[in-house]
Amino acid sequence: MPTVLVPGVLRAESGGAARLEVAAAGQLRAVLDEVGARWPRLARRIRDESGAVRRYVNIYVDGEDCRRLAGLDTPVAAGSEIQVLPSVAGG
């Protein structure tokens, strides 16, 4: 099962869990859709209502920034780790 790693700042939305196991695989979009169904408040911090990943949220699939891969179409394997991290931003 793929695992979603939740940053500390968002764990209030995942019931305190740092690691979420999801059944979906295939593409990153399916993983995030499952997160949306099971942890909706976490999901809307990561993507806006159009489905786009928020500008200052980064998602790494097995250590690679999904924006440098295929975005939401990035392949996700059964054992993949999907790490969500807020980017360096703010003032």
Partner 1 sequence: MTVLLAIGTQKGLFLATSDDERRTWQVGPAHFSGTAIYTIGVDARGPRPRLLAAVDSSHFGPSVAVSDDLGETWAEPDSAPIALPADAGAAIERVWQIVPGSAAEPGVVYAGSQPSALFRSTDGGRSFQLVRGLWDHPHRPQWGAGFGGQAIHTVLPHPHDPARMVVAMSTGGVYRTADGGATWAPANSGIKAYFLPDPWPEFGQCVHKVARDAGDPERLYAQNHHGVYRSTDGGDRWESIAATLPSDFGFPIVAHPSRPGTIWNFPLIADSRRHPVDLRCRVFRSTDAGEQWEPLEKGLPAEPYYPVVLRDAMCADGSDPAGVYFGTRSGDVFATRDEGESWTPVAAHLPDVLCVRAVTF
Give the residues lining the site for partner 1 (CB under 8 A): 10, 40-41, 44-46, 48-50, 52, 54, 56-57, 86-87, 89-90
Q: How far is the CB of 24 from partner 1 (least distance, A)?
A: 19
Cβ–Cβ under 8 Å, residues 18 and 5: yes
Residue number with CB closer to partner 1 (14 or 80):
14
Sign of torsion, CA 60 72 32 36?
Answer: positive
Residue number with CB closer to partner 1 (1 or 67):
67
Q: Is 81 helix (H, G, I), strand (E, B) or coil?
A: strand
